[in-house]
Amino acid sequence: MISPLRPVAALAVLSMAMPGLAAAGPVTAAAIEAVTYEGGELPSGQSALTAKVQVMLDRAGVSPGVIDGIKGGMSRSAIAAFERRSGLPADGAMDPQVWAALQPFAGGAMTTSYTITDADVSQLTTHIPTDYLEKANMTSLGYTSVAEKLGERFHMDDRFIAAMNPGVALTAGAVIQVIAPTKPLRARVARILIEKGTNRVAAYDAEGHMVVNYPATIGSAETPSPSGSHTVRAVAMNPEYTYNPAINFTQGANKSVLVLPPGPNGPVGTVWIALSKPTYGLHGTPTPSRLFVSESHGCVRLTNWDAEELAHMVQPGVTSVEFLEKGTTLADVMGEARGTSKAVQAAVASAATASAASAATLASTTLLSSAPPMARPPHILRVPEVGASGATMPATAMPAAGLPQVTIPPAGVVPLPGAVLPRTHIPPGR
């Protein structure tokens, strides 16, 4: 992470690393509010227009990943996903049709002022080591900076916070400009399609309407993600993570089973959505800006805030998860886009009446990923299972709010990786 106390140096490094950034001019809150689309592609580098488009996509439930104002692969893929849901040609290019389709999500301010609190600057983790044994000896894998903590709360890259607030130290009492928070969408997701060719995850309701669409890291060449269709088994929020080299990968020189504490900087972030295929799942990540750069050990990584949103919409034992191989698209499986989900309609209504968020609103929209991590949280018992070690384990799960709990009979499968379980039971991790 780049220190929030050195924003000028951070921007200098960013300018050299990303051609066109310096020439685009400063991206201020005022610039984001005032800018409008006048045709053509999005500007190269970092721009107020790209930031505004990213905010509207985020409100629409088509995640651009981190909001950073930079025209890149995740933003282009988000535009293509939004075009797909809107019934437009999905080429990922900005055009007047896309801009018009985004306007229902343009209501209210795009940015807002936020006063940093004492809680924001407290309970930070000094350092996150790379070695898993060192991580296992920590009490939590929390945020390492105020910028990182606020970045997750407002869906922003922490470097973008520095760019929007040049010269401002991120200390308690400081007033900064941030992206106005977006309320998570709520729906019952019946089907999830994981598109390996685009590195995106699409979730559909029972009527076949696309509800949300997220950028993702989907396996790697060495450890590819599964194929075929599976089912969501359970959901663990803010989970511990169990590393077991006998079942999955080997990290460094660590040859023994280790239990890593919970926290947003843990290997699976703040959420684990377990699949019926043993040891596989969808989960959060400690590095949201690198989803299209990083590789996973076969699982599907989302930003923590996207994973948290999805965790409240899946139905354990009901929601199917299908992996689409490269060359197979959403259109091949779902046909042409038809209609709009009730969740998206609600998001449109909310955006139409949105206004600059008050401090109270900001507090109420704090996600799990932006809250202080809990050290060894109590597990939520569901249906007991017998794990590979012979110990009794709970099928750790948190069903979506308002949804009926689904009984999932024991299947003799390998225990859930990363689940919040009693310390007497060690499940494998991925």
pLDDT value at position 360? 45
d(CA 72, CA 82): 16
d(CA 160, CA 152): 12
Residue 283 bears catalytic tag: yes
Active-site annotation holder among 155, 230, 283, 379:
283
d(CA 71, CA 235): 33
pTM of the predicted structure, to 2 decimals: 0.80
What one-character DSSP code corresponds to residue 206?
A: T
Q: Is the pLDDT of residue 307 over 80?
A: yes
Q: Is the pLDDT of residue 214 over 90?
A: yes
Reported in sequence order, the residue ranges of 129-171 that DSSP labels E, i.e. its strands, are none
pLDDT value at position 24? 52
* Weakest-pLDDT range from 58-62, 170-174, 196-200, 374-378: 374-378
CA angle 397, 122, 54 (to 5 degrees): 65
What is the pLDDT of the chain when averaged over all its residues?
Answer: 80
pLDDT value at position 350? 78
Find out whether 70 and 18 touch, Cβ atoms under 8 Å. Answer: yes
Structure confidence by residue, pLDDT tens digits, 65-106: 999 999 999 999 999 999 999 999 999 999 999 999 999 999
Q: In 10 A of CB 338, how many CB atoms?
A: 11
User: What are the angstrom distances between the C-alpha of 324 and each of 160, 207, 333?
Assistant: 33, 20, 9
Ordered structural domains, the chain, with CATH: 191-338+375-394 (2.40.440.10)
Active-site annotation holder among 299, 312, 379, 425:
299
- As given in the structure block, the two tokens for residue 113 are 């002022």
Q: Is the pLDDT of residue 379 over 90?
A: no
Calculate mean pLDDT across residues 384-397. Answer: 29
Q: Is the pLDDT of residue 117 over 60?
A: yes
Q: Is the pLDDT of residue 295 over 90?
A: no
Q: Is the pLDDT of residue 186 over 70?
A: yes
User: What are the angstrom distances between the C-alpha of 132 and each of 138, 208, 237, 268, 293?
Assistant: 10, 42, 21, 13, 22
Q: Is the pLDDT of residue 409 over 50?
A: no
pLDDT value at position 293? 74
Structure confidence by residue, pLDDT tens digits, 234-284: 999 999 999 888 887 888 888 999 999 999 999 999 999 999 999 899 999
pLDDT value at position 366? 46
Find out whether 282 and 347 touch, Cβ atoms under 8 Å. Answer: no
Calculate mean pLDDT across residues 339-368. Answer: 64
pLDDT value at position 294? 63
Residue 312 bears catalytic tag: no
Structure confidence by residue, pLDDT tens digits, 220-247: 767 788 899 999 999 999 999 998 888 8
d(CA 56, CA 46): 16
